[in-house]
Amino acid sequence: MKVLVIGGGGREHALAWKLAQSKDAEQVFVAPGNAGTAREPGTRNVAIAATDTDALLDFAKSEGIDLTVVGPEDPLAGGLVDRFEAEGCRVLGPRKEAARLESSKGFSKDFMAHYGIPTARYERFTDFDQARRYLAGQAAPIVVKADGLAAGKGVVVATSIAEAEQAASAMLQEAQFKEAGRAIVIEEFLEGREASFICLVDGTDVVPLATSQDHKARDEGNCGPNTGGMGAYSPTPLITPELHRRVLEEVIHPTVRGLASEGTRYRGFLYAGLMLDSEGNPKVLEYNCRFGDPETQPILFRLDSDLLDHCLAATEGRLSESVPEWDARPALGVVLAIRDYPGSYPKGIPIAGLDEVEEEAGVKVFHAGTTADNGQVVTNGGRVLCVCAKEETLALAKERAYQATDKIRFEGKFCRRDIGAAVLASGEGD
Ligand code: AMP
Ligand code: GLY
């Protein structure tokens, strides 16, 4: 089978790497891919942007692609799946209507409120004066969110009402996130610990994938600005078997059924970002209509069964026959970013040490913002690599991942040194 993976980040490298291992995969194309997917056995890059639906559709048809898997949210929100399906091309991902769970925070909050799915209290605004009047009656900390897609950067956890006002003004009055910030959600600050709950959904049936925990803040101790994610590990002990059952019952199934009751089928990866309070009760911070990045990297590093088979089963509505099998060993991934990410940063910086690390068993380097320049791998984005290690215990996986990250060198290299540290310190890891 020929497979097309859309996207060019670490998530897509992991998806393509795993899909290429399938017994049925003849060739995996990645559009546009990165230097990692260019080097991977069985995968090949295609120079088409992830949002260029016309060119992607032409390519899928002319190449006779059997399955397209969509990585990032932008093409999903833009209706790529609707277009592919209308042309008879098999594709895994939600249609535009279903992708609103991620592409509009206001929609997702109203949806959760309507179906009784636990989430933070909130209000929606398009007018700054109304937002300001509302904020005057609230206490900090409080959270201000751009309604639309902002690459994980549209959320401000404000520690004072003045800061919240400023964030609301930047979004509503100064068009900080352009159209994505023309409407906002202001919501209650939730305290607790975060976990990522990601499932594969075939329209009706749900298969939960291995659990994970991301680290969204840029700096150690969860300080600094929000990012797309600075590292993740899987599985997370924060999701106990009892909580796992509750999340499926209180969040995932009501979400899929709620959409279906409105005539909207959900097919693809569905990600609930959860906040767990001190008693372990889950609340949904956000939905994503795709796999997480960097969660995909440690999760798929642990997948023993055939990802292509699971993806095909999801597109054919027979997920109940396709149960994933996991390596029991935990995996932990550390994101190597460029200093100043998520602000502006330079590109084209040469990366050294990759070959040495790539030869180690139990270690896998997934590329994100990289490209090849005359055979030399250079940086091409803020999050550059995700270095994953898999070991008998989470503590060993962490140690191993950091040993490997230390062997990779590029100017301005930056990483959090505490991925997985909090859960290990609490004694819940191992
Ligand atoms: P989101 O994109 O909505 O998941 O928000 C990004 C990050 O902001 C989350 O992963 C949390 O770390 C933080 N965050 C979002 N909403 C809240 C909230 N209501 N309370 C506390 N932190 C939040
Ligand atoms: N790692 C968070 C996300 O993919 O949105």
CA of 204 to the centre of ligand 2 (A): 24
CA 217 to centroid of ligand 1, rounded, Å: 10
CA distances to 12, 293, 300, 338, 411 from 378, rounded to whole Å, are 18, 20, 25, 12, 11
222 lines ligand 1 (CB under 6 A): no
The verdict on the CB of residue 295 being under 6 Å from ligand 2 is: yes
Q: Which ligand sits nearest to residue 214's alpha carbon?
A: 2
Nearest CA to 52 out of 67, 70, 37, 36 is that of: 70
Check pocket membership of 297 for ligand 2, CB cut-off 6 A.
no
Ligand 1 contacts CB of residue 285 (under 6 A): yes
Grouped pLDDT means (10 residues each) for the chain, 430 residues: 98 98 98 97 97 98 98 97 98 98 97 98 97 96 96 88 96 92 96 96 97 96 91 97 98 98 97 94 97 98 98 96 96 96 92 93 97 94 97 98 98 98 88
Q: 68 pairs with which residues across the strands?
A: 4, 91
Q: Is 231 in the pocket of ligand 2 (CB under 6 A)?
A: no
Closest CA to 267 of 415, 43, 97: 97
Q: Is 120 in the pocket of ligand 1 (CB under 6 A)?
A: yes
Pocket test for ligand 2, best of 288, 297, 383 (most atoms within 8 A of CB): 288
Ordered DSSP codes for 287-338: EESS--TTTHHHHHHTB-S-HHHHHHHHHTT-GGG----B-SS-EEEEEEEE
Of all ligands present, the nearest one to the C-alpha of 122 is 1
CB of 295 closer than 6 angstroms to any ligand 1 atom = no
- Residue 10: CB within 6 Å of ligand 2? no
CA of 416 to the centre of ligand 1 (A): 19
SS3 state of residue 24:
coil
Coil vs helix vs strand at 74 = helix
Q: Can you tell me which atom of ligand 2 is nearest the CA of 286?
A: 5
* pLDDT value of residue 313: 98
* CB burial of residue 257 (10 Å; 0-12, 13-18, 19+): middle
- Closest residue by Cα to atom 5, ligand 2, is 292
Give the integer Cα–Cα distance in Å for 248 and 237.
16
User: How distant, in Å, are the alpha carbons of 68, 121, 134, 141, 142 from that of 187?
Assistant: 36, 6, 11, 10, 6
* Residue-level pLDDT at 152: 73
Which residue is closest in CA terms to ligand 2's atom 3?
292
**Torsion of Cα atoms, 52 then 54 then 57 then 61, to 10°:** -140
Select from 403, 398, 13 the least CA-distant residue to 233.
398
- CB of 153 sitting under 6 A from ligand 2: no
Pairing relationship of beta strands 331-338 and 223-226 according to DSSP bridges:
unpaired
**DSSP strand E in 203-254: where?**
206-208, 213-214, 217-219, 223-226, 231-234
Tokens of 100: 């609103």
Q: What pLDDT shows up at residue 165?
A: 97
| In 93-216, beta strands by DSSP E | 122-125, 142-146, 155-158, 184-188, 193-202, 206-208, 213-214
Q: Is 158 in the pocket of ligand 1 (CB under 6 A)?
A: no
Cis amide linkage into residue 324, ω under 30° from 0: no
Residues in contact with 270: Cβ distance below 8 Å, sequence separation at least 6, in sequence order: 94, 101, 198, 199, 200, 201, 206, 252, 255, 256, 287, 288, 289
**Whole-number Å distance between alpha carbons of 71 and 385:** 17
Phi, psi of 175 (to 5 degrees): 55, 40
> Which residue among 155, 196, 288 has the greatest number of ligand 1 atoms within 8 angstroms of its CB, and so is best to mutate?
155
Q: What is the pLDDT of residue 325?
A: 98
Q: Is 286 in the pocket of ligand 1 (CB under 6 A)?
A: yes
Q: Is the distance from the beta carbon of residue 157 to the nearest atom of ligand 1 less than 6 Å?
A: yes
- Please spell the DSSP secondary structure of 347-375, one letter per residue: ---B-BSHHHHHTSTTEEEEESSEEEETT
**Which pair of structure tokens corresponds to residue 385?**
């690599």
Residue from 110, 120, 184 nearest 146 by CA: 184
Q: Which pLDDT score is estimated for 430?
A: 66
Distance CA 388, CA 4 (A): 24
